[in-house]
Structure 1
Amino acid sequence: MRSVQLQGQLEKMAISATTDGAAHYELVLGKTRTGLNALLGQTVQLDYQGAIHCSACGRRTKTSFAQGYCYPCFTSLAQCDSCMMSPEKCHFHLGTCREPDWAEQVCFNEHIVYLANSSGLKVGITRATQMPTRWLDQGAVQALPIARVATRRLSGLLEDLFRREVADKTNWRALLKGDAPLLNLAAERDRLFGHFSGELLALQREHGPAAIQLLEASTGQHFHYPVLQYPAKIVSLNLDKTPQVRGRLLGLKGQYLLLDSGVINLRKYTSYQVAFSA
């Protein structure tokens, strides 16, 4: 059994999927990556070393804001603005964007509105270039693109419409208790398109048919995650309260490590200086 010892600035786990939907995980510490699937069943340890460096400017910060930023960057960068979480609130057209040049590169790209099944049916959005990464990060067992739109704001407007009928959040506790029962996502898509046909037509007329393309014949994807055993009881581990986390690695799902001592969302600790051993 090989020994693994690494340290560096923690980033969200890198996840890829094979053609049959099997998720493969890598722990990312600075410029170093190590595969995690092969460590299933082994004892692993994370040690928070007491330092957080902003993922944008690199300055040391006592508290991480918005998963890895210092407070000045959190309050000044466009990527930390509230419209990133609620894109229907985009205010670029009002001339008040924090960083118009950054927004031109990120927000005015093709986005996808999708249905996914992680802890149950949900609607979400992602940049077209982030499929299937976004779904794997959420621990989805199924995902189906349902619309292709020209801008992030338009994706938010569609998501805001559909969430009148469908949740837009994942129940993380349900996610970590087992795989959600499979759903007919195509049927759910057709139901939403029919229910909101008038509103969708109005949006297409306002923004142009090329700006909002409904994907009525898209195909979905299925994913499965490396899990030996789901926890009988969900115990959430916190590096701020317990700087050393140790346990037998029972599984990997979404951005969570499932240990016999509890579960931990590594994305929450982006920019933390961490030592890892197995």
Structure 2
Amino acid sequence: MIQGNLRKMPAKVVDGKVHYELKLGDQLVPLADLIGEKVALNFTGQIHCIHCGRASKKSFSQGYCYPCFKKLAACDTCIMSPEKCHYFEGTCREPEWGDKYCMQSHYVYLSNTTALKVGITRGDQLPTRWIDQGATQARAMFLVENRRMSGLVESLFKSEVADKTNWRNMLKGLEVDINLEAEQERLINRLWEGLDALQNEYGLQAIQELGADNVSHEFVYPVLEYPSKIASINAEKTPLVEGTLMGIKGQYWILDTGVINLRKYTGYEAEFTR
């Protein structure tokens, strides 16, 4: 048995195949050999903030206690809506944090998570961001100068493309191949006036379309069998989560007893057995 506070599953890509680890505190459990095996996570009811470590009755914004949720820049509304970034107004909750994570270059990308999707991420979060969303294909389109600019470009593309993943379809494995390069060209041709307006306002260097050497990426997830119907497991109502691990995709475990989003329970203490 291994016990600790749950963290987001680390993942790496080897020859296009995604390999996951379960992280409990400082302990890592490779999961590749456990696909098809019986596993169990027993949630103890204890929650600790992933920032300050204090005990909390409830988790906010995937792992924070309420005081940290209210004061940290990582929990501000502009994290979910980057076009609302207010750093330039001098009102960032933590300017040093903003310097490190927001005031640096970001990518605007297209991905396939059973449907075409637009998204943004820092460069050091690729391909992690794509894997966390369960994307089977992904392609960066633009390199932009900061997080706010990525949000402005993403908002422009949201008029044509969804920015959310249909997680139920993603867990059913309903993907169809999409020519992301062709979709990028099509969308830019439709939205060039809006892109030009942003460049005219913020400068040509603010938004740079990636060149001819840009490539699309594909990912294969460790899934033996996708469920035909999705039954979501709530660890607060069912603390003992057990069954045969049929696969992992995004941050979800696919069990023969249902699916569970482990990232939702970041900071929760759990005991893992196999």
TM-score category by the smaller chain? over 0.9
- Deviation at residue 205 of structure 1 after TM alignment: 1.8
**Which residue of the other structure, out of 193, 196, 202, is the alignment partner of 2:197?**
202
Aligned residues: 273
**Which residue of the other structure, out of 234, 240, 264, is the alignment partner of 2:230?**
234
Cα distance in 1 for residues equivalent to 2:11 and 2:113:
16
Residue 27 (str. 1) matches residue 27 (str. 2): no
- Deviation at residue 139 of structure 1 after TM alignment: 0.6
For structure 2, the 5+ residue unaligned runs are: none
> Given residue 131 of structure 2, which amino acid in structure 1 is its aligned partner?
L
Report 1:129-208 matches (<5 A). 129-208=124-203
Cα distance in 2 for residues equivalent to 1:135 and 1:263:
19
Q: Paired residue for 2:260?
A: 264
Cα distance in 2 for residues equivalent to 1:120 and 1:179:
9
CA deviation profile, 1:230-276 (whole Å, cap 9, x unmatched)? 11211000111111011000001000000000000000000000100
SS in 2 for 1:225: coil
Q: Paired residue for 1:57?
A: 52
SS in 1 for 2:205: coil
Cα distance in 2 for residues equivalent to 1:177 and 1:104:
39
TM-score, length basis structure 1: 0.97
Cα distance in 1 for residues equivalent to 2:241 and 2:45:
14
- Deviation at residue 95 of structure 1 after TM alignment: 1.6
- Deviation at residue 194 of structure 1 after TM alignment: 0.7
SS in 1 for 2:176: coil
CA deviation profile, 1:8-53 (whole Å, cap 9, x unmatched)? 01001111101x2100000001111011110011110000011100
Cα distance in 1 for residues equivalent to 2:25 and 2:4:
5
SS in 1 for 2:83: helix
Residue 7 (str. 1) matches residue 11 (str. 2): no
> Given residue 20 of structure 2, which amino acid in structure 1 is its aligned partner?
Y
SS in 1 for 2:153: helix
TM-score, length basis structure 2: 0.98
- Deviation at residue 216 of structure 1 after TM alignment: 4.7
- Deviation at residue 179 of structure 1 after TM alignment: 4.4
> Given residue 216 of structure 2, which amino acid in structure 1 is its aligned partner?
G
For structure 1, the 5+ residue unaligned runs are: none
Cα distance in 1 for residues equivalent to 2:105 and 2:155:
18
Query: Does the aligned pair in 2 maintain the 1:9–1:273 contact within 8 Å?
Result: yes
> Given residue 6 of structure 2, which amino acid in structure 1 is its aligned partner?
L
SS in 1 for 2:79: helix
> Given residue 63 of structure 1, which amino acid in structure 2 is its aligned partner?
K
> Given residue 251 of structure 2, which amino acid in structure 1 is its aligned partner?
Q
Residue 39 (str. 1) matches residue 34 (str. 2): yes
> Given residue 33 of structure 2, which amino acid in structure 1 is its aligned partner?
A
> Given residue 104 of structure 1, which amino acid in structure 2 is its aligned partner?
D
> Given residue 182 of structure 2, which amino acid in structure 1 is its aligned partner?
A
Cα distance in 2 for residues equivalent to 1:21 and 1:35:
17
Query: Does the aligned pair in 2 maintain the 1:190–1:216 contact within 8 Å?
Result: no
> Given residue 27 of structure 2, which amino acid in structure 1 is its aligned partner?
T
Cα distance in 2 for residues equivalent to 1:199 and 1:234:
39
SS in 2 for 1:66: coil
> Given residue 269 of structure 1, which amino acid in structure 2 is its aligned partner?
Y
